[in-house]
Amino acid sequence: STTEKPILLNNIADAEAFVSGAEVAVIGFFQDPQSPEAEQFRLAAGQIPEVPFGLSSSAAVLSHYGASANTVALFRRIDNDRRDLDMNNRDVDAKKLTRFVRMNELRLVTEYDPVTAIGVMQSSLEFNLLLITDKMSPKHPERMRKFRAAAELYKGKILFILLDSNLKSNERVVSYFQLKKSQLPALAIFHTPDDEHDVLTPDEISIEHVQDFCNRFLQ
């Protein structure tokens, strides 16, 4: 997009609208918008085009969010969570900030990889539903559309995760659920506190299949 990143948030109403308008939103709270820390924040914003970045140096906005100066806060709608990063620490640069965002940007459907795995482990949601599938399959876009539609129904209850079976780094997860490539796509649901889990290998991924599977497990 050609819009200037980050967006300046001059008052509480702007900031609230900014946070509620995205699945994941990042705000940098800086007393001095020209500080070296704010400069690193701008660099990081440029490297993550798909996540909206806002910047505020308004005392009212900082106080509203209980944020101290030089703090970056990531807000996510999926589990109504907020993660803060203190930029007063001299060694926090654009690279560390980018990693912080990548690690914590849980979405309606989060793609699993070594970086997002950390955010997934730290989520306050105790139920995870994995769609284990081949992303290269011609059926993938349609499967994802249905999986996303089902995810809307369990927002705040179950974390929906896409696991690409082609990635070598995901082989361990696939074997944990004792699945063979020939059985994919598969759904695996997991209750993190006690490792209780269940696996389904449906003929097709439909919203109804996902709902039945989730409801059965939740009961």
Domains of the chain: residue spans and CATH: 7-104 (3.40.30.10), 110-218 (3.40.30.10)
User: Which pLDDT score, from 0 to 100, does residue 115 have?
Assistant: 87
Please tell me what DSSP assigns to residue 105.
-
Report DSSP letters for 161-193, one per residue.
Answer: EEEETT-GGGHHHHHHTT--GGG-SEEEEEETT
40: nearest Cα among 116, 95, 82: 95
Residue 182 backbone phi and psi in degrees, to 5: -70, -15
User: Which pLDDT score, from 0 to 100, does residue 2 have?
Assistant: 43
User: Which pLDDT score, from 0 to 100, does residue 3 have?
Assistant: 53
Please report, rounded to a whole number, the percentage of residues in the chain having pLDDT higher than 70: 98
Q: Which helix (H) or strand (E) holds 69?
A: none
In order along its 219 residues, the chain shows pLDDT tens digits of: 445 689 999 999 999 999 999 999 999 999 999 999 999 999 999 999 999 999 999 999 999 999 999 999 999 988 889 999 999 877 889 999 999 999 999 999 999 988 899 888 888 899 999 999 999 999 999 999 999 999 999 999 999 999 999 999 999 999 999 999 999 999 999 999 999 999 999 989 999 999 999 999 999
Contact (Cβ atoms closer than 8 angstroms) between residue 140 and residue 134: yes
2-17 pLDDT, tens per residue?
Answer: 456 899 999 999 999 9
User: Which pLDDT score, from 0 to 100, does residue 15 have?
Assistant: 97
User: Which pLDDT score, from 0 to 100, does residue 37 have?
Assistant: 93
Average per-residue pLDDT for the chain: 93
